[in-house]
Amino acid sequence: MEDGLTSPEQTMAAPPPPAAAAFTGLAFDTCTAPPVAAMAAWRGTSPYGAVAVYVGGRNRGCAQPQLTASWVTAVSAAGWRLVPLYVGAQPPCRTGGGPERITAATADSQGAADGADAVARASALGMRPGSTLYLDVEDYDAADTACGDAVLAYTQSFDRAVTARAYRPGFYGLRAPARPASPLRPAGARRTCPTRSGTRSTTAWPTPPAVSRTRPGCSPATAAATSTR
């Protein structure tokens, strides 16, 4: 534009996140991060090479006394790859507890706030830009269109907030009958090996990027891992 001015689109455009490392193999998660000594004992004696950790979210179901920046440094130095999960607001039509629910009126603002919080928590743990932060959304009624639209708006807002801060958004979703939370998520994504959002070419498990829980019959998968150094 004239006089050296930039357009609103140029001003608001965020640089693309740096490329994240990838991990291929078996991963597991536990609600509470295990002690460093347990992680050290499992390293090299189990088939697993990555661990998913619940870094935050008002709906996170357990305390995390072990999950600190020093824990992340220690287990990463031991060779573990980390997959951060964020348990944000949940579908408004979902039954069960949880202090934070998505609403149609506030889905955008909730997603933006939770995306910013996920980045702040990951950064405080030493997980650097370029790491993929997975939004954990539980299953809900596939027939409830209004519910699905609210989840879609929330998820897209979360993704924008994470991307704007030079991290990469991921989606940790459940098996059908959950309605796909965005057109980026393949129908019928498995609970054991949820798939990451972020590209329209994403297809169903076990193609990358994905992460698996410890359930018999779940083949090795590829996950975008964190960067801590």
Q: Is 144 part of any domain? A: yes
The alpha carbon torsion through 219, 220, 221, 225 (nearest 10 deg) reads 150
**pLDDT for position 2:** 43
Q: Is 197 part of any domain? A: yes
**pLDDT for position 99:** 85
**pLDDT for position 55:** 97
Q: Is 140 part of any domain? A: yes
pTM over 0.85: no
Between CA 112 and CA 91 the distance in angstroms is 16
Q: Is 229 part of any domain? A: no
Q: Is 67 part of any domain? A: yes
**pLDDT for position 96:** 74
Q: Is 36 part of any domain? A: yes
Q: Is 199 part of any domain? A: yes
Are the C-beta atoms of 14 and 163 separated by less than 8 Å? Answer: yes
Number of domains within the chain: 1
The CATH number of whichever domain residue 172 belongs to comes to 3.20.20
- Host domain of residue 86: 2-224
Mean pLDDT in each 10-residue stretch from start to end of the chain (229 residues)?
A: 45 58 85 94 91 95 94 95 95 84 96 98 95 92 90 96 94 58 36 32 27 37 55
